Chain A
Amino acid sequence: MHYLRGNTVKKKALIAGLSAVAIMASLAACSSDGGGSSNAKPTNCNNKIVNADAPVVSVWAWYPNMAKVVDNFNNDHDDVQVCWTIAGQGADEYAKLQTAVSAGKGAPDVVMLETDQLTGFEIQDALVDISDLGANDVKKNFAEGSWGDVSQGDAVYAVPIDGGPMAMIYRKDIFEKYNITPPTTWEEYETAAQTVKDAGGPWFGNLGSNVPAALTALFQQNGAEPFVYDLADPQKIEINLDTPEVKKVMDYWAGLTEKGLIGTEDQFTTDYIAGVVGGKYGTYVSAAWAPGYLTGAGVGQGDDAGLFAVAPLPQWDTANPVSVNWGGSALAVTSQANDKKLAAKVATGLYADEASLTDGWKTQTIFPLNKDVLTSDAFVDNEVEFFGGQTANKDIYIPAADAYEGTTYSPFSVYYYAQLQAQLVKIAAGDVGGSQAADDLQGIIVKYAQEQGFTVE
Chain B
Amino acid sequence: MADTATTLVAKPAAAAKRKRTARERAHSRTGWLFIAPFGVVFVVFLVTPLAYAFYLSLFSKGLATGTAFAGINNYVRAFTDPSFLKGVWFVVRFSVVLIPVQMLVSLAAALVLDNLTNRFARFARLMIFLPYAVPAVIGALMWGFLYSPSFGPLEQIFGSFGLDAPFLLSPDNIFYGLMNVVTWQWAGYYMIIIYAALRGIDPTIYEAAKIDGANAWQVALRIKIPMVRSALVLILVFALIGTLQFFTEPQVLGPVANGTITPDFTPNIYAFNLAFKYAQFNYASAISFSLGAIVFVGVYIFLFVTRKRGSVL
CB < 8 Å: which of A16, A99, A428 contacts B276? A99
* Complex CA–CA separation, A438 to B36 (angstroms): 58
Contact A13 B30 (CB under 8 A): yes
Question: Which single member of A24, A102, A235 contacts B279 (CB below 8 Å)?
Answer: A102
B64 lies within 8 A of A16 (CB): no
The residues of A that contact B273 with a CB separation of less than 8 Å are 418
Given A269-B256, A424-B259, A454-B63, decide whether A274 and B29 contact each other with a Cβ distance below 8 A.
no
Is A305 close to B, CB under 8 A?
A: no
C-alpha gap A235/B66 in the complex (Å): 11
Q: Which of B27, B41, B258, B281 contacts A428 (CB 8 A)?
A: B258
Residues on the A chain within 8 Å of B151, using CB: 270-271, 274
Establish whether residues B65 and A452, one from each chain, have CB atoms under 8 Å apart when the complex forms: yes
Cβ of B64 and Cβ of A234 under 8 Å apart?
A: yes
| A20 pairs with B258, CB closer than 8 A | no
Verify if A457 is at the interface (C-beta below 8 Å from B).
no
Q: Inside 8 A of A24's CB, which chain B residues have their CB?
A: 40
Interface residues of A in 390-438 (CB under 8 A from B): 411-412, 414-415, 418, 421-422, 424-425, 428-429
Q: In whole angstroms, how far apart are the Cα atoms of A176 and B269 in the complex?
A: 47
Q: Are A124 and B148 also in contact (CB < 8 A) when A24-B40, A94-B277, A422-B262 are?
A: no
Is the beta-carbon distance between B259 and A12 smaller than 8 angstroms? no
Give 1 or 0 for each of B36-65: 1 = CB within 8 Å of chain A CB.
Answer: 110011001000000000000000001111
**A348 adjacent to chain B (CB < 8 Å):** no
CB of B63 within 8 A of CB of A124, answer: yes
Q: How many residues does chain A have at the interface if contact means C-beta atoms less than 8 Å apart?
A: 49
Complex CA distance for A265 and B258, rounded to whole angstroms: 6
Q: Do A23 and B37 touch (CB < 8 A)? A: yes
B63-A411 in contact (CB<8A) = yes
Assign chain B's interface to a size class. Answer: 35 or more
- Chain B residues near A412 (CB, 8 Å)? 63, 278
If A271-B149, A418-B263 touch, whether A235 touches B64 (CB-CB below 8 Å) is: yes
| Contact A9:B277 (CB < 8 A) given known A17-B33, A453-B64, A453-B65 | no
Q: What A residues does B149 contact at CB under 8 A?
A: 271
How far, in angstroms, from A228 to B171 measured CA to CA in the complex?
34
Interface string of B2-39 (1 = CB under 8 A from A): 00000000000000000000000011011001101100
A411 to B63, CA, bound (A): 8
The answer, yes or no, to whether B230 is at the interface (CB within 8 Å) is: no
User: Which one of B27, B37, B171, B263 contacts A20 once the chains associate, using CB atoms below 8 Å?
Assistant: B37
B150 within 8 A of A: yes
Chain A 1-20, CB within 8 Å of chain B: the 1/0 string?
Answer: 00000100100110011011
- Write out the residue numbers on chain A whose beta carbons fall within 8 Å of the beta carbon of B275: 99
B260 near A13: Cβ-Cβ < 8 Å: no
Does B242 count as interface, using CB distance less than 8 angstroms? Answer: no
Chain B residues near A (Cβ < 8 Å): 26-27, 29-30, 33-34, 36-37, 40-41, 44, 62-65, 145, 148-151, 170-171, 255-260, 262-263, 273, 275-279, 281
Q: Which residues of A contact B (CB under 8 A)?
A: 6, 9, 12-13, 16-17, 19-20, 23-24, 27, 91, 94-95, 98-99, 101-102, 120, 123-124, 208-210, 234-235, 264-266, 269-271, 274-275, 411-412, 414-415, 418, 421-422, 424-425, 428-429, 451-454
